[in-house]
Amino acid sequence: DTAVSQTPKYLVTQMGNDKSIKCEQNLGHDTMYWYKQDSKKFLKIMFSYNNKELIINETVPNRFSPKSPDKAHLNLHINSLELGDSAVYFCASSQQTGYGETQYFGPGTRLLVL
Amino acid sequence: AQSVTQLGSHVSVSEGALVLLRCNYSSSVPPYLFWYVQYPNQGLQLLLKYTTGATLVKGINGFEAEFKKSETSFHLTKPSAHMSDAAEYFCAVTPIYNQGGKLIFGQGTELSVKP
């Protein structure tokens, strides 16, 4: 059983479109995250949620809107996609929002905006 | 602001040779430290982490890292490289006073292993 899963794995779309990425974890964790990995492989936090409550919003454009329907799911919706949104998006989860907690990562969603 | 620096974006070693990947952090208060590995087209997997206690930390796949507060370093080593170790390695920190538990990553080091 996959611990942290993401769908879709690949996403190719046109500028201006709206798209969503879904994430689910079956680890029973309370905290979930979205990270963005750019073309130079640099990873940066976007959002984190603890038990469906937004904890971190790391100055991400308003076009990005996370939604957590329950603590096992954290989806990412992106409006009006831009070329610069092309990246790999990773979902992760941890037991709690504590210091030193191990984060478990999903396989990533590779987004290409044309 | 907290930052992590990995010296060398690309390291190449021969199979059987020592692997040394360098990581330094900037903080007046030592953070919690992690090493993650990313194999091609996959997610990140935790190799090891340091929170408290013994400064030499052993991880999976024969890797270990030593926290040196005086040098603000957390270098990753493995005595003998295998071909299967070829991957991207990321050092990361969680600042102790940070809310939300976010990981701050270094820029990554790509490890190549030559036969």
Question: Which tokens in the block code for residue A23?
Answer: 């994430």
* Chain A CB within 8 Å of residue B27 CB: no
Supply the pLDDT for residue B98.
62
In sequence order, the 6+-apart residues with CB closer than 8 A to the CB of B70 are: none
Pairwise CB contact (< 8 Å): B51 & A31: no
Q: Which residues of A touch B (CB under 8 A)?
A: 4, 31, 33, 35, 40-45, 48, 50, 55-56, 58, 90, 92, 94, 96-108
Which parts of chain B have pLDDT scores under 70?
98-99
> Quick check: bond before A8 cis, omega within 30?
yes
CA angle A47, A42, B49 (to 5 degrees): 75
**Cα(B111)–Cα(A24) distance, integer angstroms:** 31
Indicate the helix (H) or strand (E) that contains B113. strand B109-114
**Cβ–Cβ pairs < 8 A, chains A and B:** 72
pLDDT tens string A28-80 = 999 999 999 999 999 999 999 988 888 888 878 999 999 999 999 999 999 99
**Cα(B97)–Cα(B48) distance, integer angstroms:** 21
Of the pLDDT bands very low, low, confident and very high (cuts 50, 70, 90), residue A1 is: low
Q: What percent of chain A has pLDDT over 70?
A: 98
pLDDT tens string B82-111 = 999 999 999 999 877 766 778 999 999 999
Pairwise CB contact (< 8 Å): A40 & B88: no
Pairwise CB contact (< 8 Å): B100 & A40: no
Cα→Cα distances B101→A93, B27, B90, Å: 11, 16, 17
Pairwise CB contact (< 8 Å): A107 & B108: no
Supply the pLDDT for residue B2.
77
Pairwise CB contact (< 8 Å): B105 & A102: no
Pairwise CB contact (< 8 Å): A41 & B107: yes
Supply the pLDDT for residue A94.
93
Chain B contact probe: residue of A4, A29, A38, A41 with most B CBs at under 10 A: A41
